[in-house]
Structure 1
């Protein structure tokens, strides 16, 4: 097949992918902006601030939808080429299904590489920036319904305490939405500390503008509170940070540092391997789309074709999600959890296409 035809197919595929992403971005942005504006804690924020928060949050959501965008783009492109009889003419000229799919597979690989190494760092930066803005506005209360925060036990200078946060930044050096409990010698809580933020200095959390509550006393607001700690920033980030908020360029080093200190870094390793496997996932989605859309369909069959492709992609997405959960919790190695569903789906697509091609 000539390169002119390859470039034509590739251009159509990429254009449909970008159009799908644009529609998803607009839809998710509108829904998220409405949701953010409805939250009571943002009532004092202006429209421009709410719009900025949503705009920074959306890229991370869209990143999760990339595989479906590839699936839809491949299905729509192949159906469009079939309706115009372009694929029929190509097949009649002796072009095999693999030659037809070559530009689609190439486009999937290029889009996967761009999504992993270019888009992901931007989305992670935007997500972290959005969390930072929300922390400044709400004291770290960035959740919509669940107000629970992860807690870490710490001991420093004879003080036993528990600290939790709803946001973490600066490599584990800064917390937002801080809640801490200082324990007495008998194991009871002697103080509760609530603050919008805290920063980790040498062996101490410098908690800013805290409200300190003691049993039987009126809560006191202090300018700052120094809480001794033995925690290291690498451990704090590993336990409290969202792996999706860390760009791929930093994940490798953070995994290595965490493991060298004896910390469990499986969640970060799972996210890293998932990002590395993304080009292969895009190829698998393209092959699944081809199994239902590369053959000529008569009028009225397109709806069943689209439904079949969506169902296949949804099954792959669910299996991938379950595998990620298993990998993050050390049930299976992250490499296996990231690659096995992708390779299995790819082999399934190749098998179906071979059967369709050779009968």
Structure 2
């Protein structure tokens, strides 16, 4: 047992160093291509200086690391186990009576821990920097003025509204929407207040509006009720649980939200009438990341053990790269099906990890004779 713990610690240390080195190399390669793409897009934008392009590329580095982590574990694990196999250390360990499951426990725990650390610690930093990079990209590289400038500055929202009846909601349509920092102002705004039975209660028409914390301030607002005379123009307040950041983020990529922000934001989206499929898919994918990382370590071990017995580094590298590419394609296809509603969100997010785990267990059970 003591020998098993020492060997597991040694293999875990070698495995972690290889994974971190591979993660750094792959992140650098992906970031280089991302930088070249940003540089190409900035060629026709005089405001996008070289320094701004470098800053945008650096801000996206943590996001790239989060996406690459499972494949870095796969390739780094293959490299680590191949070194152990080449030096016959795995052969000696197996000759001493240790099964593959004993000396693989350490790398599996390390890979799982890396996935947990990426979700709870790297994800918040990645989301914050990714959102900032997207804002810079919209300002300096895109022709539009950001998400709120779409459709000529028009905005459609649905939010809960129980001022008239419990279970009611309001549909808001505003034109001339502009954001100045934390303040959102609009031109003419129309609010349709709907009861729980989907029957319209009244309609509010305002000359302009401003979103303040907890309320919409409607200026020059008139309430139109069927069969009654419209009220005189006045200043009205309409309670809301939305704010400028939430409205802005609802148009942004789910990658711009951290693991800790997603559950609450999904609830707000669902209450406000936005589709939360992409955000729920992102949240489930982050939940599945530790399992996917542990699975990749098992896949790497399966290919490396095959090499130690039968020889052939080309087969090992080719098999590992092919399996990683296959899992990547499966994850992309599953995400597309999940976003379209053809697959449940949970199945679409967890399918790559489950498929990789079955592949890894099949390899190890086939190769392990004791």
TM over 0.5, shorter chain: yes
The answer on 1:55 being equivalent to 2:66 is no
Q: Which residue of 2 aligns with 1:341?
A: 352
- The correspondence of residues 140-289 of structure 1 with structure 2, limited to 5 A, is 154=156, 203=216, 233=243, 236-237=247-248, 239-289=250-300
CA contact (8 A) 1:97 1:357 kept: yes
Q: Which residue of 2 aligns with 1:72?
A: 75
Q: CA deviation at 1:237?
A: 4.5
Q: Which residue of 2 aligns with 1:7?
A: 9
The answer on 1:94 being equivalent to 2:105 is no
User: Take 2:368 and 2:145, find their aligned partners in 1: how far apart are those partners?
Assistant: 52
Residue range with higher mean Cα deviation, 4-13 or 272-281:
4-13
Distance 1:258 1:45, change over 3 A: closer
The answer on 1:105 being equivalent to 2:108 is yes
Q: Which residue of 1 aligns with 2:323?
A: 312
CA contact (8 A) 2:335 2:349 kept: yes
Q: CA deviation at 1:162?
A: 6.8
User: Take 1:261 and 1:16, find their aligned partners in 2: how far apart are those partners?
Assistant: 46
- Higher Rg of the two aligned structures: 2
Q: Which runs of 4+ in 1 moved over 6 A?
A: 159-165
Q: What are the Cα deviations for residues 70-108 of structure 1, in whole angstroms up to 9, with x where unaligned? A: 100111111010001110110111110111211111111
The answer on 1:130 being equivalent to 2:133 is yes
Q: Indicate the SS of the match to 1:94.
A: coil
CA contact (8 A) 2:305 2:367 kept: no
Q: CA deviation at 1:140?
A: 6.7
Which residues of structure 1 form unaligned runs of 5+? 183-198, 206-228
Which residues of structure 2 form unaligned runs of 5+? 159-171, 190-209, 219-237
User: Take 2:362 and 2:177, find their aligned partners in 1: how far apart are those partners?
Assistant: 50
Q: Which residue of 2 aligns with 1:351?
A: 362
Q: Which residue of 2 aligns with 1:293?
A: 304
CA contact (8 A) 1:134 1:141 kept: no
User: Take 2:123 and 2:349, find their aligned partners in 1: how far apart are those partners?
Assistant: 17
User: Take 1:103 and 1:135, find their aligned partners in 2: how far apart are those partners?
Assistant: 44
User: Take 1:123 and 1:92, find their aligned partners in 2: how far apart are those partners?
Assistant: 45
User: Take 1:348 and 1:277, find their aligned partners in 2: how far apart are those partners?
Assistant: 17
Q: Which residue of 2 aligns with 1:302?
A: 313
Q: What are the Cα deviations for residues 256-291 of structure 1, in whole angstroms up to 9, with x where unaligned? A: 222234443111111000001001011121222222
User: Take 1:174 and 1:294, find their aligned partners in 2: how far apart are those partners?
Assistant: 60
CA contact (8 A) 2:307 2:316 kept: no
CA contact (8 A) 1:267 1:329 kept: no
Aligned pair count?
309
